[in-house]
Amino acid sequence: MIHLFREVMLEKQWMGQQVDRSICVWFWEQAFPARDSYKVPSVIASPAHYLLHIVREGITFLACTQYEMSPLLGIEFLCRVANVLSDYLGGLNEDLIKDNFVIVYQLLDEMMDSGFPLTTEPNILKEMITPPNIVSRMLSVVTGGSSTVNNILPGATSSNVPWRASDLKHVNNEVYVDLVEEIDATVNRDGFLVKCEVYGEVHVNSRLSGVPELTLSFSNPSILNDIRFHPCVRFRPWEAHQVLSFVPPDGAFKLMSYRVKKLKNTPIYVRPQLSSDAGVCQVNILVGMRNDPGKPIDSIALKFTFPQSVVSSDLTANHGSVDVLTHKACTWSIGRIPKDKAPCLTGTLTLESGQDCLREFPTILVGFKIMGVAMSGLKIDKLDLQNLGYRPYKGFRALTQAACYEIRI
C-alpha cells in the first residue's frame, strides 16, 4: 500500500511489492478529464491496482492496493492521516507538507505498519513525535538540531485507554463542551421544505489532570435519531440510561455526533423568482427571517452557479455585496438581516443567443451561523466528574450553522 500526496510530494510504501509512481499519472489522467477529481469515485480499479483516494484542501491522498481489502478501512485511514497531518502542521497545504516532510514521514511510519494501521490515536502520536511549533523550531535554529522523535514509548500504548496519556497534570483544570450543529435542508422548486435535519457534534475540550471519569447527560436525549461515539464512550450506560460516560482524551476531540431528522422549520427563508423571456432572465431573490431563533443570525451568504447558457449577468442587492466570479459562480454575502428591510437581490441574466428561456436551473446554497443556539433543541443537562480531587471549570457553548442548505430554483 502506498500513499501519494499530489504528484510528486510524498510516497511511502509498506508492502513488499513496490508500486511504481507511474500509477499516479494514470490516476491524474482519470481524474482530470473530468474537471476536478471529485468526479472520480473514491474507489477505482486501475489495470494493475485498486486506488482509493480522498481530497483534502486540494491535496489528494491516494492509496493503492493489489488485493482485496475493506475499502472503507482504506478510506477511513486516509481521512485519519489527513486529520492527523492537519492537526500537526496546523493546516494542510503543499508548502506545509513539504516543509515538514520528515515529520510526515515519521508520522506515516508510525501510523501504519505492513499495510495495517498501527498507532492512529493523535494523542499518542504527539507523544511519540513532537509536533512542530515555534519554540522547537527556534531551538533547532539556535542549537543546530533537536530531535523530534521521543525516545520513550508512551505509556498509553499499553493501557486500556489508548487515547489518554496516563499521568497528565494541568494547572487550570477545565472542560468545555460545545454543541456544533449543522442544518441540512432542501427546498424544492415549488418552495416546499423537502428535507430538514440537523447534524450535530459534541466537541469536548478537556484539560483535566489525572484520569477523570466524566458523565454527560442530555435533558432530551429522545430526539436524537442517529448517534456515533468516540471510542472512549462506554456503550452500556448509554444503552441503559442514555448517559454518556467516558474517560476523555486530553485536548479537543469529538465526543459524539448525532442527527435529528424531520425538523419542520428553518430559521430563514429564501424566495427565488426567475422568469425568462426572449433571451433575458429576470432574477429576484428575497431573503428573510422565518422564525426567530432568539439569537442573531450571522454571516448569511447565498451561493449559486449560473447555468452554462448564461452569458452575462447584472445583479444588484439592496443589502450586502454581490460577487460574480469568472467561472459563473455568484456569491451574495448578506451578513445580518437588517431590521428595517428585507434583503433582495435583483437583476438580469443574459442568455446565449438562440436560447429563449432558461432550461437548467441552479441550486442556491445558503450559509449562515447562529451562535449560542442548538437548532435541534438538544440540551445538555449536566456534566458530572468523578474521582477527581479538584473542581474544574466547566463551560458550555452551542453553535448552529448551515451545512447543506439548498434552495432549488
Partner 1 sequence: MLPQFAETAASFSRASTLMLRMGTDAHLYDDPQDANINSLLDSKFDSEKVEALKRLLALMSQGCDVSNFFPQVVKNVASQSLEVKKLVYIYLVHYAERRPDEALLSINSFQKDLSDLNPLVRAWALRAMSGIHVHVVAPLVLMAVTKCSRDPSPYVRRCAANAIPKLYDLDREQNNNALEELIGLLFNDNSAGVIGATAAAFNSVCPNNLSLIGSKFKRLCETLPDVEEWGQIILIEILLRYVVAKHGISKISAAYNSGYTKRLFIERETSDCSLEHWNGNKGQNKEEKNIFPGSDTIDQQSRLLETTSLNSDSSKSSDAIPIIDLDNDVKLLLQCTSPLFWSQNSGVVLAAAGVHWLMAPMKEVKRIVKPLLFLLRSSYDSQYVVLANLATFVGEMPSLFEQNFEDFFIRSSDTYHMRAIKLEILSIVATESSIHTILQELQDYVRDPDRKFAADAVAAIGKCAKRLPTVALTCLKGLLALVRKSSVSLEGSHSLASEKTGESMKEKFPGIKAAHLFRADFMLTDGDKDDSEASVLTQTILAIKTILQQNPDELEKVFVPLIRSLDLINVPTARAIIIWMVGEYSSTGTVLPKIVPTLLQYLAACFPTEGLESKLQILNCAAKVILHCEASCKKAISLVVNYVLDLGRCDLSYDVRDRARMLKQLLAHSFSGVGVDGENEASQTYAVEQIISLADLPQCSGVESERSEDNSERHVFGKTIFQQHDPHGNLVSAIAKYIFSPKLDPVLHSTTKQRLFLPGSLSHIVQHTAPGYRPLPKPFSLSETCIPCDAEVCQPIESRSKTRVDDHDSSGDDTDYIYSSTDRSFSEGSLQSHISGSDPENDRLSDSESPEFETKTKDKWKSSPNSSNAKSVKSKILDSNTKMIGNIKSKSKEVDERHTAEPLIFLSDSEHGKEIVEDGSCVPVGSDCLQLMREDALESWLGPEVPISRPVLHTEESVPSGYASLSIGALDAELRKHTLLDFTNGDGMNVMYAFSKECSSYSSESVCVRLFFENRSLVAFTKIIVRADDSIVSPSEPELPPTQAHGRTAVSPDSPTVIPTQEIPFLEAGETTQRDLHVCFHQLTPLKLGIHFNNKCYSVRLMPEIGALLRPLSMNLIEFTAKESQISGMLEYSRRCTFRERLQRFSNVNDFQLQHDKLIVVARNIASRVLSRVYASIVSVTIPIFTSFRDDSNMNGDIEGLCLRFSGETLLECMPCLITVTVDGCHSEFKLPVLVKINCEDTVFGLNLLKKLVEVLSGS
CB of 63: closest distance to partner 1 in angstroms? 12
Contacts of 1 by beta carbon, 8 Å cutoff, 6+ apart: 13, 14, 15, 63, 64, 65, 74, 112, 115
Q: What is the DSSP letter of 224?
A: -
Q: Any contact of residue 217 with partner 1 (CB under 8 A)?
A: no
Stretch that binds partner 1, among 59-67, 171-179, 316-324, 372-380 (CB under 8 A): 59-67
* Residues between 237 and 266 with contacts to partner 1, criterion CB under 8 A: 238-239, 254, 257, 259
Q: What share of the chain is helix, strand, coil (3-state, %, to 5)?
A: 20, 40, 40
If DSSP codes are grouped into helix, strand and coil, which group holds residue 177? strand
Quote the CA–CA distance of 221 and 206 in Å, as a whole number: 22
Q: Any contact of residue 329 with partner 1 (CB under 8 A)?
A: no
Q: Any contact of residue 397 with partner 1 (CB under 8 A)?
A: no
Q: Which is nearer to partner 1, 10 or 344 (CB)?
A: 10
Of 353, 386, 387, 391, the one binding partner 1 by CB under 8 A: 353
Of 77, 218, 269, 368, the one binding partner 1 by CB under 8 A: 77
Q: What are phi and psi of 266, to 5 degrees?
A: -115, 150
> Whose CA is closest to 281, among 342, 336, 350?
350
Q: What does the chain come to in residues? A: 409
DSSP-derived secondary structure for 8-60: TTEEEE-SSS---THHHHHHHHHHSSSSSGGGS-SEEE-SS-EEEEEEETTEE
Q: Any contact of residue 408 with partner 1 (CB under 8 A)?
A: yes
CB of 209: closest distance to partner 1 in angstroms? 25
Q: What are phi and psi of 17, to 5 degrees?
A: -75, 125
* Residues between 151 and 170 with contacts to partner 1, criterion CB under 8 A: 151-153, 157-158, 160, 162
- Which residue do the cell numbers 474537471 mark? 35
Of 166, 225, 275, 312, the one binding partner 1 by CB under 8 A: 225
Stretch that binds partner 1, among 62-70, 280-288, 330-338, 367-375 (CB under 8 A): 62-70
Q: Which is nearer to partner 1, 14 or 176 (CB)?
A: 14
Of 25, 57, 105, 381, the one binding partner 1 by CB under 8 A: 105
Contacts of 35 by beta carbon, 8 Å cutoff, 6+ apart: none
Q: Any contact of residue 11 with partner 1 (CB under 8 A)?
A: yes
Of 83, 174, 180, 230, the one binding partner 1 by CB under 8 A: 230
Q: Which is nearer to partner 1, 388 or 404 (CB)?
A: 404
